Amino acid sequence: MTDAPATVLLVEDSQDLGPLLQETLEEWNHRAVLARTGAEAMEVLAREPVSLMLLDHELPDMVAPELLEALRSQSRPIPPVVLMTARLRPGTEETWPELVDVLRKPFELADLAAVLRRRLPSR
């Protein structure tokens, strides 16, 4: 009997990067759910458990801190968050208790693999 793959919520609006990362995660035996907006991410989190959220900082309908605040205000469980961003203000890590890692864009797939090894439960 094998364990079910970890579910990763990929919140990325890029038409190129989102599907590429989703495909890569699935090739690495993770279940990847792609959300292109903060609202879509909230819908996914309302209906299923997620082990890790890869979160783009800037989405079409909100920025990452707004999404996290909306989830907190609704008392929704928030999975550990890996922020994907080209720019990060100093001090951001201290203000988001859910933030466990940052991938600075552009990042290599090896960097993503290292984050997944650190942050997802071993199977």
Is 16 a residue whose pLDDT tops 70?
A: yes
Using DSSP's 3-state secondary structure scheme, residue 62 falls into: coil
Among 64, 30, 68, 72, residue whose Cα is nearest residue 50: 30
Tens of pLDDT, residue by residue over 30-61, are: 999 999 999 999 999 999 999 999 999 999 99
Domain ranges in the chain are: 7-119
Report yes or no on whether pTM surpasses 0.85: yes
Q: Tell me the fold of 7-119.
A: Rossmann fold (3.40.50)
How high is the pLDDT of residue 122?
64
Tens of pLDDT, residue by residue over 65-114, are: 999 999 999 988 899 999 999 876 655 555 788 999 999 999 999 999 99
